[in-house]
Amino acid sequence: MKYLTILFLLVFAIGCKKDDIPTFEGRDGISFFIDYYENPDSTNYSFALQPTAKTKDTIFIKMRLVGKPSSVARGIKLKALPGSTARPNIDYILPEVKLPANALFVNYPLVIFNTPEMLTQNFQLVLGVDPGSELVPGAPGIAVDLSKNLSKMKVNITNQLIEPDYWQNLSFFFGNFSVVKFKFMIKVTGLTNFDPQVVGFSDIFLIQVNLKKALSDYVQLNGPLIDEFGNQITF
């Protein structure tokens, strides 16, 4: 029994025969997507975690074509969905962009602003593809490489210390996230970004050693360091 591997064809039934695989019909679409190891449907951004003070920034949201490539560029228009608390043209701007000719992927540039309210509040923006977009909302599902197409993407924006998206890659070294722990890490190391892709895993080991030593010194002088959940900080 012969199987076909078709690039970006979403797998809705495992082990379909050749004659059972549906063909694409209708208008071409665009969808958000994540790799199999990424957080389900959200991304977190904090101005407080940036190495330099910023009044605005750009978050690049991964999107990919659901349909056939074209020899001409095609427009992509997003909109805020119900559940959004971020304010349009105050906390963010949704520019209209194009999927380049013959391209399968695009990084959508979401523009966000550091507003005073973000010092005390978290704002959520739930993004979806506008049905009036030239590339319509693409169908969600799982691809053969286990990456996922999503119909919406949540973006959490603040100027407070929040759990970074990369923390799941650090939990083996530093344990569960807490704001108290993160503040201690920043104070000891002088770093605000501990992403292994930026710092490197070899340096993560060294940081862990330094944090253990600093915490031991702290405990000797002040007693256990307790986080906002009532748990004793450890590394």
Neighbours of 182 (CB within 10 A): 21
User: Is the pLDDT at 201 greater than 90, yes or no?
Assistant: no
Whether 171 and 149 share a structural domain: no
Q: Where are the alpha helices (DSSP H) in 6-145?
A: none
Which residue range(s) make up the domain with 124? 18-158
Q: Does the residue 1 lie in any domain?
A: no
Last residue within a domain, chosen from 158, 185, 210: 158
Q: Does the residue 235 lie in any domain?
A: no
Whether 39 and 107 share a structural domain: yes
- When divided into structural domains, the chain yields a total of 2
Distance of CA 154 to the CA centre of its chain: 8
Query: Whole-prediction pTM value?
Result: 0.74
User: Which SS3 state, helix, strand or coil, does residue 196 take?
Assistant: helix
What is the rounded average pLDDT for all residues in the chain? 88
Last residue within a domain, chosen from 131, 158, 185: 158
Residue pLDDT, tens place only, 22-78: 344 568 999 999 987 776 678 999 999 887 889 999 999 999 999 999 999 999 999
Task: Mention every residue, 6+ apart, whose C-beta is less than 8 A from residue 204.
Answer: 170, 173, 194, 196
Q: How far, in Å, CA of 104 to CA of 139, rounded?
A: 15
